[in-house]
Structure 1
Amino acid sequence: MAERPTTNWRTCIAEEAEELAAGTLAPECACMAGLFPEELLTSTDAVFDTFESEFPGLGEADEAQIFGVVERVVLALNAVNEAHGESAYETDEREQLCEFIDQSLTEHGVDIVALTARHGLGRYQITDKWRKW
């Protein structure tokens, strides 16, 4: 099952906190909690809760419905990013978000490669039309 990026980010925050507590990481080198404040994590998870609620029947959905699901999740992530000063998701995070969307769709019966090819897109361009992060 595709793992939400927020799960990874929370793990990194916890690991960094352990290193700080153990004294193996200098406080001035700690950055994870600042990069991923709880409000960002909670907002991103709320977007993915909605996204995941659309999975049942997705493998039998028509292309317009699938693109609609992608559009909605991307626009919702755009809103989270905007609410965080347009800097919620950096390059690595963007890649994780796109990978989660791709894996989730694939796991629920969507042939991303064939779908995007029929629309003149590369596999990893499925979010590009709406993505501002």
Structure 2
Amino acid sequence: MAERPTTSWRHGIVEEAQEVAAGTLDPECACMAELYPEELLSATDAVLDAFEGELPGLGEARDEQVFAVVERVVLALNAVNDANNGGAFETDEREELCDYIDESLAEHGVDVTALTARQGLGPYQLTNKWRKW
């Protein structure tokens, strides 16, 4: 099952806090909690909850229906990013979120490679039309 990016971000926060507490990481070098404040994590999880709720049955759906689901999740993530001054999702986060979307669709029977090819898109361009992060 695809792992939500927020799960790994939360794990990184905990791991970093443990390193600071153990004295193996200088507190001035700790940045995970600042990069991923709880408000960002909660808002991102709410978007991903809604996305996951739309996944069942997409394997049999028309391309337009799949793209509509992708559009909704991307636009909602754009809103989360905008609410965080446009800097919530940088390169690493963007890649993780895009991978998560692709993997989640694939786990529900969507052939993402074929879907994008039918639309004249490359294999990693599923979210590009709407993504601002």
Question: What's the TM-score, normalizing by structure 1?
Answer: 0.99
Question: What's the TM-score, normalizing by structure 2?
Answer: 0.99
Distance 2:56 2:73 in 1: 16
CA offsets per residue over residues 49-108 of structure 1, 9 Å max, x none? 000000111111111100000000000000000000000011000000000000000000
**Aligned match of 2:107:** 107
Give the SS at the match of 2:78. Answer: helix
**Aligned match of 2:18:** 18
Could you list the structure 1 runs, at least 4 aligned residues long, displaced by more than 6 angstroms after superposition. Answer: none
**Aligned match of 1:131:** 131
Distance 2:4 2:23 in 1: 29
Distance 2:88 2:116 in 1: 27
Identity of aligned residues (%): 72
Number of aligned residue pairs: give it.
133
Unaligned runs of 5+ residues in structure 1 are none
**Aligned match of 2:50:** 50
Distance 1:61 1:117 in 2: 16
Distance 2:35 2:56 in 1: 33
**Aligned match of 1:77:** 77
CA offsets per residue over residues 19-71 of structure 1, 9 Å max, x none? 01101100110000000000000000000000000011111111110000000
